[in-house]
Amino acid sequence: MEGYRLERTLLSTSDMQAILAGLRSLDSVWGTNRYAQLMEKLSAGASNLLTGDTHILIDLSSWYKDTLSPKIELLHSAIIAGRKVSFCYHAPKGEARRTIEPYDLLFQWAGWYIWGWCEKREAFRLFKLGRMTDLQVGEAFEKRLRPPLPELSPERVFPKVYQIKAKIQPEYKWRLIEEYGLESFQVQPDGTLLFSFGFTDKTSIIGWIVSFGSGAELLEPKEVRKEVLEFAEGICRKYKNE
pLDDT per residue over 81-119, tens digit each?
A: 999 999 999 998 899 999 999 999 998 877 889 999 999
Kind and range of the H or E run holding 211: none
Q: What is the pLDDT of residue 135?
A: 97
For 65-154, the fitting CATH number among 1.10.3470, 2.40.128, 3.60.21, 2.30.30 is 2.30.30
Percent of the chain predicted with pLDDT > 70: 72
Q: In the structure, what pLDDT confidence band is assigned to residue 50 with cuts at 50, 70 and 90?
A: very low
pLDDT value at 52 more than 50: no
Q: What is the pLDDT of residue 108?
A: 81
Q: What is the pLDDT of residue 148?
A: 87
Name the burial class of residue 195, with classes exposed (0-12), middle (13-18) and buried (19+) by CB atoms within 10 angstroms of its CB: buried
Q: What's the average model confidence in pLDDT over 46-74?
A: 66
Gap between the Cα atoms of 99 and 117, Å rounded: 8
Q: In the structure, what pLDDT confidence band is assigned to residue 122 with cuts at 50, 70 and 90?
A: very high
pLDDT value at 28 more than 80: no
Gap between the Cα atoms of 108 and 14, Å rounded: 25
153-187 pLDDT tens trace: 777 767 888 999 999 999 999 999 999 999 999 99
Q: In the structure, what pLDDT confidence band is assigned to residue 61 with cuts at 50, 70 and 90?
A: low
Q: What is the pLDDT of residue 33?
A: 60
Is the model more confident about 146 or about 202?
202
Percent of the chain predicted with pLDDT > 90: 55
CATH class of 158-240: alpha beta
pLDDT value at 13 more than 60: no
Kind and range of the H or E run holding 109: none
Which spans in the chain are helix H?
13-30, 34-42, 48-52, 65-81, 154-157, 173-180, 202-210, 222-240
pLDDT value at 211 more than 60: yes
